[in-house]
Amino acid sequence: MDEDSKLDPDTQECLHLISAFLAMEPTHSLIFFARECGKGLITNQVQDFIWQYCINKTMNEENRPSDLYVKNFLKKVIVEVESSSIEVMDELYEQFSYYMTSVKDGFERGNSRVYKRISFLFPNVSSCSRVEKIVIPLQCSVNMLEGDTGCSVWPSSLFLSEFILSHPDIFSNKSCFEVGSGVGLVGISLAYVKASKIILTDGDLSTLANMKHNLELNQLKMQTKMSQIKCKHLPWESASEEELQGFKPDIVLGADVIYDPLCLPDLLRVLTNLLSQKISNGCTKDKLYDAGDDTLLLKTTPNDCNSLESVHHDNKFGSQPDAAKERQPVAYLATVIRNMETFDCFMKLANEAHLSVLDITESCKPLNLLPYMRSYDRPSIRFFRINSS
C-alpha cells in the first residue's frame, strides 16, 4: 500500500481506535471507530491500519489484549468488511484462521486475568487534530461480577482518575490515602500528578497482590523507605483507631466503596478516623524528585514548612482558606448509586458520625479524558466531598 494512503495513528479517529483496542473495549465499539477512520466503511486503508497498529504491533508484547478478544475483534472486522463488498486483507484472514485453531471460545470465563491499557487523552492546544496521552497498563479481571470484583476496573475509579489528572494542583505535594484501591488505577494517577505520599489499601490479599503487580507494571517502586507509594492490607472491620490515625493524610479517596450495607458502619468508622485529624501547616513536607525517567521516589527536605495549598483559589471545591494554622483532611468519593436504600444508609451513618457530605457532581466535572471508552457511563457517577463537621 502506498505510504501516502496510510492512515496517521496520531489523528483523533485513529487514536480512539487504538486506545479502545488496548483497553479491550467491547468489539462493537472498535467497529464504530474503525468506520469513523474510513468515513463510514472499513476500507483497505483501515484494514491495513488495524493490522499494523492493533494486531501486528502488539502481537509479541507481554501485556497485549487477550487472544480471545483479538479473535472476536477480527471476526467482527471480517464480517463487516465482507458485508460492504470490500476485499478482506490477507493478513487479517490468516491471523483469524490461526486464532480459530489455537484459541477456544470461553477461555476467559471465571476469574481469568487480562491486560488492559487505559489511555487518558489530553487535547493539545497547539493542534486540534492531535492529542497528548498517558497510558496506564493494568492486569485486571475479565468479569467484575464473577467473584473477582477487586481486580476489575470500576467506572468510579476511571472518574476519580480523570478528576485527578484534570486537577493536578489539588493533589500535587499532598499525602493521599485511598480506601478500597482495587487495581491501583487511582494511585498510579496520583503518582503522575506528583502526590507527595500515596497509601493504597485493600482488605483482600489477592487484590493487594494484583495491585502491587500493577504498580511494578507502571515502573513505580514501593515498600521501601524512599518509596512514594505504599500498599497496605487494611480490612475495614479490623482496622484499629491507632493504626488509622497514624496515616495522617491530606486527602482521602474512594471509588465505588458504597456498595454493601453490612460494610458501611466499618467504612464510616475508617473515614471518621482519617478525617478527624488536624493537619499542621508547620509540619515537614515531603517533596518529589525524579530518580529516572520512569521511577518516582520521595525526597524529604528538613525544615521545609510550605503550607498546604488551598484546593482552588475560588473555593470551587469547598476548601477552607489556608490562613488557619491547622486544617482537617478532605475526602473525595465517587460512586454509582446502584441501590438507593444502601446510599441512604450511608448518608444516615455519615450524619451520625458528624461527617459533612457535599454532592459536587455538577460543579466539579473532570475533563473528558476517555472519549474512546463508550462502555464508560460517566453520567451514572455521583461525586462527593466529605469532611469532618
* CB within 8 Å of 364: residues ≥ 6 apart: 163, 316, 317, 383, 385
| Cell matching residue 22 | 488496548
Kindly report, residue by residue over 175-231, the tens digit of the pLDDT. 999 999 999 999 999 999 999 999 999 999 999 999 999 999 999 876 444 458 999
Going by pLDDT thresholds of 50, 70 and 90, the confidence category of residue 303 is very low
pLDDT (average), residues 132-146 = 82
pLDDT of residue 257: 96
Mean pLDDT of the chain: 84
pLDDT of residue 275: 95
Rg (CA), the chain: 23
pLDDT of residue 172: 95
Kindly report, residue by residue over 307-326, the tens digit of the pLDDT. 333 433 344 444 444 444 46
pLDDT of residue 168: 96
* Cβ density class 312-345: b for 16+ within 10 Å, e for less: eeeeebebeeeeeeebebbbbbbbbeeeeebbeb
pLDDT of residue 192: 94
Q: For residues 120 and 114, what is the distance between their CA atoms, to the nearest angstrom?
A: 19
Does the pLDDT value for residue 359 go beyond 70? yes
Secondary structure of residue 243 in the 3-state scheme: helix
Does the pLDDT value for residue 53 go beyond 80? yes
Q: For residues 148 and 113, what is the distance between their CA atoms, to the nearest angstrom?
A: 9
Which segments of 130-240 does DSSP mark as H helices, in order? 155-166, 168-171, 185-192, 205-217
User: Cβ atoms within 10 A of the Cβ of 156, count?
Assistant: 23
pTM of the model: 0.84
Backbone phi, then psi, for 279, in 5-degree steps?
-105, 125
Does the pLDDT value for residue 352 go beyond 80? yes
Kindly report, residue by residue over 366-377, the tens digit of the pLDDT. 999 999 999 999
pLDDT of residue 145: 53
Q: Is 242 exposed, middle or buried (0-12, 13-18, 19+ CB in 10 A)?
A: exposed
User: In percent, how much of the chain has pLDDT > 70?
Assistant: 80
| Cell matching residue 65 | 489484549
Does the pLDDT value for residue 330 go beyond 70? yes
Name the more confident of 128 and 258.
Answer: 258
Q: For residues 41 and 83, what is the distance between their CA atoms, to the nearest angstrom?
A: 10
Strands 326-327 and 279-280: antiparallel
Name the more confident of 72 and 109.
Answer: 72
Kindly report, residue by residue over 228-269, the tens digit of the pLDDT. 899 999 999 999 999 999 999 999 999 999 999 999 999 999
Does the pLDDT value for residue 125 go beyond 60? no
Region of poorest pLDDT, from 59-73, 98-112, 268-282, 361-375: 98-112
Secondary structure of residue 51 in the 3-state scheme: helix
Strands 381-388 and 131-141: unpaired
Does the pLDDT value for residue 129 go beyond 60? no
pLDDT of residue 122: 93
